[in-house]
A and B are shown apart, each in its own frame.
Chain A
Amino acid sequence: MEKTLDLRGLSCPIPLIRTRDALAAEACVTVIVDEPAPKENILKFAKAQGYSAECKEESGEYTLVIRK
Chain B
Amino acid sequence: MYWGLIIGTGVVFGLGAVLLVQMGNPGNYGFCAACHLRDIAGALGIHSVATLQYVRPEILGFVLGSFALAKTSGEFRPRGGSNPLIRFVLGALMVIGALVFLGCPLRGILRLAGGDLNGITGLVGFAAGIVAGIAFLKRGYNLGRARVHAGAGNSAGYLAAAVAFILLVGVGTHAAFLRFSVQGPGSQHAPLIASLVAGLVAGAFAWRTRMCLSGGIRDFILVRDTYLLKIYGVLFLAALAGNLAFGTFKLGFVGQPLAHTMHLWNFLGLFLTGLAAVLAGGCPLRQLIMSGEGNTDAMFCVLGMLAGAGISHGFNAAGSAAGVAVNGQVAVLAGLVVAGAIGWSFREKTTAVTVGG
Contacts and interface: CB of A to CB of B under 8 A. Distances in A.
A9 B82 contact: yes
Contact of B219 (A13, A21, A60): A13
Contacts of A27: none
B223 A16 contact: yes
Closest 7 CB pairs of A and B: A9-B145, A11-B281, A4-B357, A9-B146, A5-B352, A6-B353, A37-B210
Contacts of B263: none
Given A4-B357, A45-B223, A13 B215 contact: yes
Interface of A: 2-14, 16-18, 20-22, 30, 32, 34-37, 40-41, 44-45, 48, 60
Nearest to B141: A14
Contacts of A44: 225, 227
Contacts of B77: 34-35, 60
Contacts of B75: 36
A11 to B, nearest CB: 3
Interface of B is mostly: loop
A60 B224 contact: no
Interface string B129-156: 0000000011000111111100000000
A22 B352 CA distance: 8
A30 B318 CA distance: 47
A6 B355 contact: yes
B357 A12 contact: no
A18 B223 contact: no
B124 to A, nearest CB: 21
B356 interface: yes
Chain B interface residue bracket vs A: 20 to 34
Contacts of B82: 9, 11
B142 A14 contact: yes
A4 B147 contact: no
Contacts of A5: 352-355
Contact of B148 (A18, A34, A40): A34
Nearest to B290: A37
Interface string B208-233: 00101001001100111101000000
Contacts of A7: 352
B210 A11 contact: no
B148 A13 contact: no
Given A11-B146, A16-B219, A45-B225, A40 B210 contact: yes
Nearest to A44: B225
A50 B224 CA distance: 13
Given A5-B352, A45-B223, 13 more contacts: A6-B353, A6-B355, A8-B145, A9-B144, A10-B142, A13-B137, A13-B218, A14-B142, A17-B137, A22-B352, A30-B357, A40-B210, A41-B219
13 contacts: A5-B352, A5-B355, A7-B352, A9-B144, A9-B147, A11-B82, A11-B142, A11-B143, A11-B280, A11-B281, A12-B215, A14-B142, A21-B352
B79 interface: yes
B61 interface: no
Contact of B281 (A4, A12, A22): A12
Contacts of B227: 44
A4 B137 contact: no
Nearest to A42: B223
A18 B357 contact: no
Most chain A CB inside 10 Å of its own CB: which residue of B137, B138, B280? B137
A4 B223 CA distance: 21
Given A4-B354, A60-B148, A14 B137 contact: yes
A64 B350 CA distance: 20
B309 to A, nearest CB: 23
B10 interface: no
Contacts of A40: 210
A21 B350 contact: yes
